[in-house]
Amino acid sequence: MTTLAFTNLRVLIDEDTHQIYTDLTRGSVDKAEDVPFTKMPDLFIAAACAGAHFNKYKEISKKRRDIFVADAFDSKIHIPILIALAYKRSKKLEDLSDPKLILNICQGWANGGIHIIQDQVYSGKGLRPLYRLVDFALEKEQ
């Protein structure tokens, strides 16, 4: 599967969600506690995981924007996760050798899940966004 070619593919998101992606990733070291993600691909995967986990699939609309090239995905962690998320929707093993299809499905999951991530890190009082995400990653009660 590591041979799956994700090259020349662009990762698309809904134009409406672009600001969320920007807010959650743009920030220097001094803003670390308020901007929990450092890279767009990490955030995209986290959003897709949340979308799949909570079964919130939402096709991206025609007003879309590409945020990075799919080569940026890490082959050791990101790609197997994308395949597992794609299988959850397609249920066909033969679809798992089609990178374009996998990405299309995961864009839908991420589109549904990005708001879940946003709520997770921003809503509620007390902890700063990074620590809210830490609690979430460590499965602590919030």
Partner 1 sequence: MKFEKLALENFSSYRGKHQIEFHTSTDKPVTIIVGGNGKGKTSIFDAINWALYGTLYESILEKENQKSITDYVNETALKELSSADESLEMSSALQFEHESQRYRIEQELVVKQINGKTEITDRASSLYKSSASGNWSEIKPIDSFLNEILPSNVRDYFLFNGDRINKLSLPGSSEEIRDGIYRVVDLELLQNGSIHLFEIAKKFGRSAKASSEGEVADIENQYSQARDDLDDQKEKLANASEEKRALETKIEKISAKLSKMDETKELQSKRDILKERLKNFEDTQKDTIAEMRSTVAIASMRIAFGEIEELGRLLEKKREKGEIPSSISESLLKDILALQKCICGTEFKEGDRVYKELKNRLDSEIEKQVKGNDLLDLYFELEGAKSEIKKAQNRLSDLESKRVMLEKNISEIDSEYSDVMHKLTNVPDENISKLAENLQKHNSDLSELEYNIQVTKNKIREKEEQIRTLQIKRGELGAKQENVRKFQLRDNLAQKAAEELEIIFQKFAEDSRLEIQEYTSEEFVKFIPTAKALKIGIDSAFHYDVRDQIGNPALQQLSNGQKQALSLAYITSISRVSEKNPPLVIDMPFGRLDEDVQDNIAQRLPDLASQVILLVLPGSEWNKHTQSILKKKASDIYTLEFDNKNRQTTITRE
List of residues contacting partner 1 (CB under 8 A):
1-3, 26, 28-33, 36-39, 42-43, 45-46, 49-50, 52-53, 76-77, 79-81, 83-85, 87-88, 93-94, 96-97, 130, 133-134, 136-139
Three-class SS state of 121: helix
Return the number of the residue (123 or 138) whose C-beta is nearest partner 1. 138
Contacts 24+ apart (CB under 8 A), 131-134: 131/33, 132/36, 133/36
Specify the residue, 14 or 120, whose C-beta has the smaller distance to partner 1. 120
In 3-state terms the chain splits into helix, strand, coil percentages (rounded to 5) of 60, 10, 35
We find the least distance from the C-beta atom of residue 36 to partner 1, in angstroms, to be 6
